Amino acid sequence: MKFDSLCVIGMGYIGLPTASIFASHGIHVTGMDINADIIDGLHAGKLHIFEPGLRGLVMDALSSGSLEISSEVRPADAFIIAVPTPFYEDKRADLRAVISAAESIVPHLRKGNLVILESTSPPRTTVDIVAPILEKSGLKSGIDFKLAYSPERVLPGRILRELVDNARVIGGIDRPSAEAGRDLYRKIVKGDIILTDATTAEMIKLMENTSRDINIAIANEFSRLAQKFDVDIWEAIEIANLHPRVEILRPGVGVGGHCISVDPWFLVEAAPETAQLIKTARGINDEQPAFVAGLIEEAADGLVGKKVAFLGLAFKPNVDDIRESPAVHLAHHLQTRGAVVDAYEPFKENAGLTGIHQVTNLEDALQDADIIVLAVGHEQFKDLDPHLIYEKTKANLVFDAVNSWDKAAWENAGFQFMGLARKY
């Protein structure tokens, strides 16, 4: 199929890069979002997300006219739905944004169009939810228009490269729909494009993130056991991984981000009686921030009234994404134990998090601090000189939750150093 125009619904961490890359490859793209602040910011040349290389790509696409930003869906040859799919408090998938996006396409759907859902969704969302909504147009999926599911499979910090280089899975409600999706993504994707059915593609996405969640869960459980047995978990993992068939991941504060900490619940929701291991792993990772908070409280001999210089709120190093961040949960747990938390997140200095006081520079975080907690291993934190930090703070306790600092160096500078299952 030939595509000259595209409408991408959702200008978030996936939608905006996707729209911009397509716009740079000869397709006229409308980027649509219902958030007025996002629309106004992009019109003013301000990006609401940080991703290496994205600003230049977006600005070039906007200035050339190949990318237009709108608060409304516009007619196009193809539509991509790239909206968030969070979960409710009871861990059920919140598909309201997907439903709203599909409904917004209906008035503009024409014969020969292609609609692709990219949002991570529970199995059968494409065929059981999206297809019936689109067919309210009077058109029949698979006959009058093509419908497919194609999950994003990228890592924050490398999104622009991985959108192009990674293999792409496209699941159609029928074979012609999958082939139409291949024709669209081939304009930007250099990696392999694998065709399957829509529900299999949905399952693949969930399997990928769930398997990683389970692997992190065993690493986090190992860290708890190592703490109990007075073993340095980092040394133990390094040695264990010398085995040619062993690859234990890094433990830490927990698991975050919009994918790995969310997607497994979609499988638990779909088949709770079967997804027992998945549910257990989720429980382990969700409990890890509380476990780390307990270690900090013990190391500090109590937290009531003590000020914590809390370094990092993002869900992983060197990104600004705070969605489902375990560092945020850790900060809240420290507060519930009586600590006064001043958090510094260099990639998002004003995250607007309820109940968390953010400062805009390291010096303000360190001022009058009793404890320094490293919650996210951003490069600028890894490179801190402990001797210089010692001169800027009265804190005498440092807790490294992510194994980013040299214990001996911080102790030589005058700090008491503790960490997650650290001996050396």
Question: Per-domain residue ranges for the chain?
Answer: 5-191, 263-419
Q: What are the mean pLDDT values of the chain's consecutive 10-residue runs (424 residues total)?
A: 96 96 96 96 91 94 96 97 91 94 98 97 96 98 98 88 95 98 97 97 96 97 97 97 97 90 92 96 97 97 97 94 94 97 94 92 96 97 96 96 97 97 94
Instruction: Say what the pLDDT of residue 365 is.
Output: 96
Q: How far is CA 337 from CA 248, 295, 369, in A?
A: 31, 12, 16
User: What span, in angstroms and rounded, lies between the C-alpha atoms of 136 and 145?
Assistant: 13
Record: fold of 263-419: Rossmann fold (3.40.50)
Q: How far is CA 406 from CA 383, 411, 415, in A?
A: 10, 9, 12
Closest CA to 58 of 29, 37, 34: 29
Instruction: Say what the pLDDT of residue 403 is.
Output: 96
Scan for tokens 């991408």, then name that residue: 8
Q: Do domains 5-191 and 263-419 have the same CATH topology?
A: yes
Instruction: Say what the pLDDT of residue 156 is.
Output: 82
Instruction: Say what the pLDDT of residue 215 is.
Output: 97
Active site residues: 205, 259
Instruction: Say what the pLDDT of residue 97 is.
Output: 97
- 3-state SS record for 104-130: HHHHHCCCCCEEEECCCCCCCHHHHHH
Cβ density class 328-364: b for 16+ within 10 Å, e for less: bbbbbbbbebebbbbbbbbbbeebebeebebbeebee
User: What span, in angstroms and rounded, lies between the C-alpha atoms of 283 and 294?
Assistant: 17
Instruction: Say what the pLDDT of residue 1 is.
Output: 86
208, 153 Cβ separation under 8 angstroms: yes
CATH 3.40.50.720 fits 5-191, yes or no: yes
